[in-house]
Amino acid sequence: MVIDRGLSAPAVDEVFHALADATRRDMLRTLMTKEHSVSALARRYPMSFAAVHKHVGVLERARLVTKERCGRESLLRASAVGLRDARSALDVLEQVWRERVAQMDQILAENPHE
C-alpha cells in the first residue's frame, strides 16, 4: 500500500512495528524525558549493546527517534514525526480507499457488463 503524498502507508506501518515492542516503548519514554547517548541508554537495559542498537535502529527508521553526532557520542532524542504519522494512519487509509473506490467506479462505468 503506497500513497502518492508525503506520507506513505509503509512509513505508518514502521511506526506501528516500532511501537509494538515494550522495550522500544520504554526507550521512547526515556528519550522523551531526556536525551541519551546510545551507551547511556544501553546501560539502562539488561541486554547487549548490539540488541539496544538494533532497537534504536527500528525507532530511528520509524522516525520516532533522531540521532545526532555530538563529539565522540551519538545523542538520541525523541521526535514527534513518527507519532504524527501514526495518528494520521487512518486518514491515509481513507485516502487510499477513496482512490480505489473511484477507480472501481470508473471501470464499472467503462464496462458495465464485465
Please report, as ranges, the residues that interact with other proteins according to CB under 8 A: 1-4, 10, 13-17, 19-21, 25, 28-29, 31-33, 77-80, 83, 86-87, 89-90, 93-94, 96-105, 107-108, 112-114
Q: Which is nearer to other proteins, 72 or 110 (CB)?
A: 110
CB of 52 to other proteins, least distance (A): 18
Q: Residue written as cell 538520541? A: 76
> From the CB of 45, what's the least distance to other proteins, in Å?
18
Residues 17, 11: contact at Cβ < 8 Å? Answer: no
Give 4 or 72: the residue with its C-beta nearer to other proteins.
4
- 66: three-class secondary structure by DSSP: strand
Residue 9 has which C-alpha cell? 502507508
- Specify burial of residue 31 (Cβ count, 10 A radius: 0-12, 13-18, 19+): buried
Q: What is the CA radius of gyration of the chain?
A: 19
Which lies closer to other proteins via its Cβ, residue 3 or residue 38? Answer: 3
